[in-house]
């Protein structure tokens, strides 16, 4: 029996239930961004659902379910990004600017980035995939969990999952 690469390496390398990206047509026309969820394993967790003010992350039938998204309801508010303990939620706004996307990423490290700073954008394994510019640093839940808004080249949205402040 073949073991999934995620269970060997801890890195999401293939499409799986729970690894959810917006439909391409909607993604490119929706202002404010849409959530991307990379939560591919059934575990007892649902803060993304309970923190979603619009019900875009649909109610779980079982606490172990992987998230399902109703993209018609997603506003890109990023409350799920701030609430997710597994750092598995991101928001991407492909309407941000010419050739650029705005990524809203969880950030729990020090030093904190500052608006206007150039940061290294990292992929799933920690490799640098591009540079980005910090557009905003938010603390939506007022609990020290930051959501960093970073502009990145639009073709890197599927790769960028974290930042490194240098």
% of the chain at pLDDT higher than 90: 69
Confidence of residue 1 (pLDDT cuts 50, 70, 90): very low
Is residue 36 within 8 A of residue 92, CB to CB? The reply is yes
Say how far apart CA 102 and CA 159 lie, in whole Å.
13
The neighbour count for residue 117, using CB atoms within 10 Å, is 17
Dihedrals φ, ψ of 145, to 5°?
A: -85, 115
Q: Count the helix, strand and coil residues of the chain and give each as a percent rounded to the nearest 5.
A: 15, 30, 55
- Name the pTM for this structure: 0.88
Which of 10-19, 75-84, 121-130, 155-164 has the weakest average pLDDT?
10-19
List, for residues 36-83, the tens digit of each pLDDT value: 999 877 889 999 999 999 999 999 999 999 899 999 999 999 999 999
Secondary structure E strands in 39-109? 89-97, 100-107
Nearest to 151 by CA among 126, 108, 116: 116
Say how far apart CA 92 and CA 14 lie, in whole Å.
20
Higher pLDDT, 153 or 20: 153
Q: What is the mean pLDDT of the chain?
A: 88
Dihedrals φ, ψ of 64, to 5°?
A: -90, -5
Secondary structure E strands in 61-127? 89-97, 100-107, 118-122
Higher pLDDT, 33 or 26: 33
CA torsion, points 22, 24, 29, 35, in degrees to nearest 10? 20
- Residue 125 to residues 35, 90, 133, 162, 164, Cα–Cα distance (Å): 21, 16, 21, 10, 13
Task: Indicate whether 16 pLDDT > 60.
Answer: no
Confidence of residue 22 (pLDDT cuts 50, 70, 90): confident
Which of 101-105, 124-128, 141-145 has the weakest average pLDDT?
141-145
Nearest to 85 by CA among 24, 119, 39: 39
Confidence of residue 25 (pLDDT cuts 50, 70, 90): confident
Say how far apart CA 31 and CA 92 lie, in whole Å.
10
């Amino acid at each position: 029996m073949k073991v999934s690469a995620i269970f060997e390496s801890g890195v999401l390398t293939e499409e799986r239930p729970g690894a959810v990206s917006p439909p391409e047509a909607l993604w490119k026309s929706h202002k404010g961004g849409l959530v991307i969820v990379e939560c591919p394993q059934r575990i007892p967790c649902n803060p993304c659902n309970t923190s979603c003010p619009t019900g875009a992350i649909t109610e779980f039938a079982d606490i172990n379910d992987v998230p399902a998204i109703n993209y018609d309801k997603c506003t890109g508010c990023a409350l799920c990004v701030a609430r997710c303990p597994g750092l598995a939620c991101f928001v991407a706004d492909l309407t941000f600017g010419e050739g650029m996307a705005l990524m809203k990423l969880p950030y729990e490290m020090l030093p904190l980035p500052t608006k206007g700073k150039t940061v290294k954008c990292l992929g799933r394994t920690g490799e640098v995939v591009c540079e980005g510019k910090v557009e905003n640093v938010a603390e939506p839940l007022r609990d020290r969990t930051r959501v960093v808004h970073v502009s990145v080249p639009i073709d890197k949205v599927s790769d960028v999952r974290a930042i490194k402040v240098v």
